[in-house]
Amino acid sequence: MPHRPDPAELQTVLDDIATRMAGEAERGEVASYIPELARVPLNRFGMAVAPLDGPPIIAGDAEVPFSIQSISKVFALVAALGHVGASLWRRVGREPSGDPFNSIVQLEAERGKPRNPFINPGAIVVSDVILENQPDETTQHPVLDLCQRLADAPDIAVDEDVFASEVATGDRNRALAYFMLAEGNIRGDVTEVTESYFRQCSIEMSCLQLATATRFLATEGEGPDAEIAGVTPERVRRLNALMMTCGCYDASGEVAFRIGLPCKSGVGGGLVAIVPGVGAIAAWSPGLDKKGNSVLAIKAIEELAHRLNWSVF
Ligand code: GLU
C-alpha cells in the first residue's frame, strides 16, 4: 500500500530531498537546441506534491516558473480527447516509440501515423485536432486555458521569448508536420498548427502549479479537478497508461523501472509523476540527460517514490 504521510512528514521528506539535490554535482546539461532554454541556470531545483486529501507541499524552487515544454502534451491530449474522443486513435498510435521525440525515420516507415501523442509528430496531430475543433482565434490558447483552470492560476502565461525561439528554430517540427500533411494526417495550415504547438510548449508553470494541474490524474476520474479536465474514469486510466509507457521519450521503460509511476517529462527540465489515489508530484531541474529527461527531477522523484512506497508495482 502507498504510504500516506501527513503534511508535516511530507514536508520533512521533500526538504531533505531538496537539500540533497542542491549538493549533487552530476546535473546533466541544459537543452540548447531551443536557444532561449539554454539561458536557464543549471543550479535550479524545485519539487511539489499536490495530495488529493491535503494542502500542496513544496521545497526548493517550487514556485519558480519554467518552460513546461513536452509536459504540455498531456494537457493538449486531454483537450483533443474532449473534442473527438476515441476517434483520435485513428490518427495517432498508443505505442512507445523507442526513437527520439523528434525522429522522422519512424514516421516515414509508418506512413505519417505517429506512434503516440507524446512524441512531437503525435503532439502536432493533437494540435491540429484542437485547432480544427476550436478555431476561434479570439479566445486564448485552449491548452493555456486548461492549465490555468486546472492549477487555479490565471496568471500562468506563455513565455513569448521561448515561443519566438521555437518558431525560429522549429524546422524539424515543421518537417514532421509537412510529412504528415503529405500523408493526409494534418488537415490545417502547417504554420498555424506548428505555431499552436510551439505556443503550448512555451507555457511557463512552476512545480506547484504543475502538481496541482495534474492532480486530476491521481483521482478515479471524479471530483472537481476531473470535472475541469472533462475526463471520465476510463480516460484517466488510459492517460496514466500512456504516461507510463510513453511519457519520458525513449527512456520511458527506464523511468518506469526506476520510479514505477506514470510520468511526463519536458526538455525544460520538468517532470510530473502521478501516484494513483494519492496525488501528483512535479519536480524541476533544467539539466538533462542524453535522452532529454531531467537528471535531478528523475532522481528526486525516484527517491520520493521509494521512501513513501509510491510505486504502482
Ligand atoms: N518544443 C519542443 C520541441 O518540439 C518540445 C520538446 C520536448 O519537451 O520534448 O522540440
Ligand 1 mutation pick, 162, 166, 167, 243, max ligand atoms within 8 A of CB: 166
Residue of minimum CA distance from atom 4 in ligand 1: 120
Integer Cα distance of 287 and 26 in angstroms: 9
Active site residue 249: yes
DSSP state of 141: P
Q: What is the pLDDT of residue 1?
A: 83
Strands (DSSP E) found in 44-133: 46-51, 57-60, 66-67
Once rounded to an integer, what is the mean pLDDT over residues 97-104? 80
| pLDDT range class, residue 140, cuts 50, 70, 90 | confident
100 pLDDT higher than 90: no
Q: What is the pLDDT of residue 159?
A: 96
Q: What is the pLDDT of residue 134?
A: 85
Grouping H, G, I as helix, E, B as strand and the rest as coil, residue 276 is: coil
The rounded radius of gyration (Å) of the Cα atoms in the chain is: 18
The candidate with the shortest Cα–Cα distance to 37, out of 166, 124, 173, is 166
- Could you tell me the distance, in angstroms and rounded to a whole number, from the CA of residue 305 to the centre of ligand 1? 26
Q: Tell me the pTM.
A: 0.97
- Could you tell me the distance, in angstroms and rounded to a whole number, from the CA of residue 234 to the centre of ligand 1? 28
**Average model confidence (pLDDT) across the chain:** 95
- Could you tell me the distance, in angstroms and rounded to a whole number, from the CA of residue 62 to the centre of ligand 1? 22
Ligand 1 mutation pick, 68, 71, 102, 103, max ligand atoms within 8 A of CB: 102
Integer Cα distance of 136 and 259 in angstroms: 40
218 pLDDT higher than 70: yes
Catalytic residue among 30, 40, 49, 73: 73
User: In this predicted model, what pLDDT tens digit does every residue of 48-85 receive, in sequence order?
Assistant: 999 999 999 999 999 999 999 999 999 999 999 999 99
User: In this predicted model, what pLDDT tens digit does every residue of 246-295 receive, in sequence order?
Assistant: 999 889 999 999 999 999 999 999 999 999 999 999 999 999 999 999 99
Active site residue 264: no
Active site residue 278: no
Residue of minimum CA distance from atom 2 in ligand 1: 69
Ligand 1 mutation pick, 67, 101, 210, max ligand atoms within 8 A of CB: 101
Residue appearing with cell numbers 501527513? 6
Amino acid at 185: N
Pocket lined around ligand 1, Cβ cut-off 6 Å: 69-70, 101-102, 120, 166, 173, 201, 266-267, 292
Domains of the chain in sequence order: 7-68+204-308 (3.40.710.10), 70-201 (3.40.710.10)
Q: What is the pLDDT of residue 136?
A: 67
137 pLDDT higher than 70: no
- Could you tell me the distance, in angstroms and rounded to a whole number, from the CA of residue 33 to the centre of ligand 1? 9
138 pLDDT higher than 70: no
- Could you tell me the distance, in angstroms and rounded to a whole number, from the CA of residue 266 to the centre of ligand 1? 7
User: In this predicted model, what pLDDT tens digit does every residue of 29-51 receive, in sequence order?
Assistant: 999 888 999 999 999 999 999 99
139 pLDDT higher than 80: no
Give the distance from CA 26 to its chain's centroid: 23
The candidate with the shortest Cα–Cα distance to 249, out of 31, 88, 79, is 31
